[in-house]
Chain A
């Protein structure tokens, strides 16, 4: 579905959490081979309540609680995907990826390639990221760069309720392994969400969330909404264009490059740690394609290479937010 068609769909206002749940429900209804597995996704309704009500609606076979066994169920999901079903895994916190990394990096990511394309792996992994709720270092990480970096996996990270639903549905329909990174601080954020069952957000398509002329801000997840707020606050002073890449791998380089060719200035805002990361990749692609359009150095907004500290003032210290986006824009405009 094109971005234009998206705009013409009937919508309802709902939170990111509700939008993801609606996307899951629609896919469970549409395709019997789709089922959810993960820790507390069933009876409990998901520790962050995303899957609430689905167990009652679809039963324990299709909304299946697992033991606390990330390597086991990540591996089982890979094997199940290779043999005719379409599991949707919830990994409660992305920090737990380490526990299941062998199955992700050596099996899920490599199987299709190692077997010469003869195994298809329609598996979706939903997981939560981000600081801001005092969950400390082992429940607040932003690790999507690992997955976006690792060949053989696709990574998406919605910043709005509509893209949260559309990307979830596209991930489930994909015949490739797709990771959906949900920032836990935006579950309560509301937006207009298309209710048409055919609505999906194609993997690899960015969204221009706000048009502007002077500075491009490429922002992900929570920082999409915060950047839009900053853009409004600077209205009349600096005209800011805000792009949500939505998909980190593949990345819609064209949409970003086109914007930078217009504005000549770029800020990349993503909660992942700054060094060797998502920001660097976006910036590398922009300089490859639009070097001579740049009028100023490219700025990065991210977590300054620390883990997420527990104490609220410390957490606020390292967590990138609207102030940081604003300062970055002002520095180059």
Chain B
């Protein structure tokens, strides 16, 4: 995999590739959800690509991220494979979580991705914890906790940042302000113009950057990373961005109008970065078109892989509750193996 790094031409090309991959992945996830192939809920990251990729562009591969319910973009930014991601969305055994997590809990701990999270505001305490391990073992890493504008109102977010600040932990809190907490505009949720102003309460740096501009995000994260690695503690970076799709797929979006969406699309993070690379002579429109079709076929392959993959065996429902499996669960696993499952699982 090419290194994601905005300081080199190859790294910039890789950043563009990951942003386009996120968009293609989520567009297809939305289509397949609409077709009824993907169960549950999906929350798409389209429009916010520069935040996830810009953040990961300033991290090392062994740094940690703790994600949100809108986590597909963070996964791809961190380098996860769309094939196993799609399999996870389909609930298949080959998925990153063997089909047990789905879109809202997709994770790859070995890759430093500590999980999408179905609870708004639950990622920052996780990031603080990862930063605690890093600090305790004196490792040269950082941990990023992503959160949305809505999560800034959560008590556990305050607690996580306060702990990280009090202990000078190597954490970075990235507020993805997409201007809506589910269906409620940000100004109805907070009495602040810049959510990064909350950083003052912890005596840590808080900056607000243009989240549609990957360079602006990457620069802010690089500064935060250097501060964290130097042992000076956490930083809050608010990235002002916008989601083009609803809170979840199927959301009728009564809370905003099309004009607003169109205005944000004028600052599209992929278009603007692509134009910049073309201006710098690092990319031609033709090369971009080729990149797009290459990624499109990668995503098609991912869908085909997910469709063809097997569902987990029924007995897998009783596995992975614990490292050391208690007899209580072993009983049900044995029954499922013997009778092929679908027994209701409600009696001993």
Q: Which residues of A come within 8 Å of B, CB atoms?
A: 33, 35, 61, 66-67, 69, 71-85, 87, 102-103, 106-107, 110-120, 151-152, 154, 174-176, 203-204, 249-251, 253, 288
Contacts and interface: CB of A to CB of B under 8 A. Distances in A.
Contacts of A66: 163
A78 B115 contact: no
A72 B160 contact: yes
Interface in B75-111: 95-101, 105, 107-110
Contact of A113 (B108, B109, B321, B328): B321
A73 B109 CA distance: 20
B156 A75 contact: yes
Given A75-B128, A77-B129, A115 B136 contact: no
Contacts of B158: 72
B162 A69 contact: yes
A82 B321 contact: no
B107 A114 contact: yes
B118 A75 contact: no
Contact of A115 (B100, B118, B163): B100
Contacts of A253: 327
B126 A75 contact: yes
B101 A116 contact: yes
B335 to A, nearest CB: 14
A175 B323 contact: yes
Contacts of B122: 75, 102-103, 106-107
Interface string B141-178: 00100000000000110111011001000000000000
Contact of B136 (A61, A73, A110, A250): A61
B342 interface: no
Contacts of A120: 323
Nearest to A62: B136
Contact of B129 (A35, A76, A115): A76
14 contacts: A74-B125, A76-B160, A79-B129, A79-B130, A82-B114, A114-B97, A115-B97, A115-B100, A116-B101, A119-B107, A120-B323, A152-B321, A203-B324, A250-B327
A66 B167 CA distance: 9
Contacts of B321: 112-113, 151-152
B323 A72 contact: no
B105 A118 contact: no
A107 B105 CA distance: 10
Most buried by B among A61, A74, A77, A102: A102
A151 B318 CA distance: 11
Given A114-B101, A119-B109, A102 B163 contact: no
B281 interface: no
A152 B322 contact: yes
A249 B134 CA distance: 32
A82 B126 contact: yes
Interface string B261-278: 000000000000000000
B326 A118 contact: no
B346 interface: no
Nearest to B108: A118
Nearest to A176: B322
B288 to A, nearest CB: 36
Contact of A118 (B99, B110, B124, B327): B110
Closest 7 CB pairs of A and B: A79-B129, A75-B125, A72-B159, A250-B326, A116-B98, A117-B320, A116-B97
